[in-house]
Structure 1
Amino acid sequence: MTKQTTKWFTSWFNTPFYHTLYKDRDSAEAQTFMDNLTQYLNIPEGGSILDLACGRGRHSRYLSSLGYNVTGADLSENSIAFAKQFENSNLHFEVHDMCQPTGRTFDAVVNLFTSFGYFDKDEDNLNTIKAIKADLNETGFGVIDFMNSDYVIENLVPEETKTVDGITFNLKRFVENGYIVKTIAFENDGESYQFEERVRAFSLKDFETLFDQADAYLLDVFGDYKLRKFHPKTSERLIMIFK
């Protein structure tokens, strides 16, 4: 029996296998990024941050430990249920569709680790940027931390096998109709599974168009988590600061 998904981001993110595959993500690197970002943004002491598409909340938890009031929001009910065990007086989690404003305002709204560009409808990408802008207070900043699509495509590994916690994941990557696609196939407890990640290969120019359409102003662009200058061919990340 093979379990397949249609809207991959509503199902794949909700499985425990997603977190198994990506369990070795670099926490030290993520914390360094948050240190550099909050210093650059000059978020006030005790300031409010919305971590949009927060997953299980690893960035949210660290931002909370720095003394900020943090709301982590994600579409995945399972991820939010897991994250809620870490809630405290300045850290809260909620299920939320990032295409819609929360109805509150924050000193910063951050969308991290390529948590953008999943949607089938182009207007949902635009609506997400509009929602981020609507959720910023007068002095607030929006942050989108995306992959540098040109660099990813140039360095794409077509096939790879990873074994994590006894599960062997067979990964294939390719570019199709403007999307960077990864298929994930594996077996567990006698069942076969197949999932797909599909993310729009947005360039900086594409984002600039979206920002214009959303009446948002792009302030700065960085190419890595140390906030060094963005280079279209060599930077691994595309980190955009806007308001």
Structure 2
Amino acid sequence: MSKLTKYLKITKGVRVLDLACGRGRHSIYLSTLGYKVTGADLSENSIAYAKKFENKNLTFMVHDMTQPTGKDFDTILNLFTSFGYFEKEEDNLNTLKSIKKDLKPGGRAVIDFMNVHFVSKGLVREEVKVVDKIEFHIKRWIKNGFLYKNIRFKIEDENYDFTETVKMITLEHFQKYATKSGLEIIDTFGNYNLDRFYEKCSERLIVIFK
């Protein structure tokens, strides 16, 4: 986050939107740097938790990121693959259009996504992880342009089974979304050190829009 804010040249007092903020980990940190931060997420439970940390520089709201907030921001951040989970393809574009509407003239937006080429090459199809003595049985597969992840576990004789789906979005996809939404891609990075993006070997695809 320090490297990213330094690259973006964010100054104290600017308005920052942490889009799909979860429980507010990054929003909270950004507010300590002197930015006026709004954290937005679709999960009511996550926002209820995050609101415990609100202060004069930090507010949280339940929000669907396919829609504009109606506010304006200098910087909008969408971090750690919080994009592409929509059931409808048009909602990927709708999210970029909403970001465009919420950005001030000259503002910057960041979408931090997985590099689907790197993920496809190194996909771990099955594994078991143990956390707090609970066994999580994980399966991953790719089908029709989507990455699927199934997680099964058991707690106190009750079985749980969840599957999440994310679209395999490439840089070319983001370029098309940008063009249609009125945004412009000005930079790309391949990891959190902000090194150059290489399609075949970069772990991440971090896209900077204006």
Please state which structure has a larger fraction of its residues in helix. 1
1:133 alignment partner in structure 2: 100
Deviations 1:12-34 (A, max 9, x none): xxxxxxxxxxxxxxxxxxxxxx1
Deviations 1:167-224 (A, max 9, x none): 2111001101100111010111221111111100011011111111112111101101
1:64 alignment partner in structure 2: 31
| Cα shift at 1:67 | 1.2
Letter in 2 for 1:37: L
Equivalent residues in 2 for 1:132-211 (5 A)? 132-211=99-178
C-alpha RMSD over aligned residues: 0.8
2:10 alignment partner in structure 1: 43
| Cα shift at 1:242 | 0.5
| Cα shift at 1:165 | 2.1
How far apart, CA to CA, are the structure 1 residues paired with 2:124 and 2:157?
28
| Worse overlay, 160-169 or 175-184 | 160-169
Structure 2 residue 54 is the aligned partner of structure 1 residue 87: yes
Tell me, what secondary structure is at the counterpart of 2:177? helix
| Cα shift at 1:166 | 2.7
Please state which structure has a larger fraction of its residues in strand. 2
Please list every run of at least 4 consecutive aligned residues from structure 1 whose deviation after the TM superposition is greater than 4 angstroms: none
How far apart, CA to CA, are the structure 2 residues paired with 1:52 and 1:188?
32
How far apart, CA to CA, are the structure 2 residues paired with 1:117 and 1:218?
18
Gaps of 5+ in 2: none
Gaps of 5+ in 1: 1-33
Q: How high is the TM-score relative to the length of structure 1?
A: 0.85
Letter in 2 for 1:201: M
How far apart, CA to CA, are the structure 2 residues paired with 1:59 and 1:44?
17
The count of aligned residue pairs is 210
2:188 alignment partner in structure 1: 221
Q: Is the 8 A contact 2:19 2:40 kept in 1?
A: yes
Q: How high is the TM-score relative to the length of structure 2?
A: 0.98
RCO (CA 8 Å, sep 6+): is it higher in 1 or 2? 1
Aligned identity (percent) is 58
| Cα shift at 1:128 | 0.2
Letter in 1 for 2:46: S
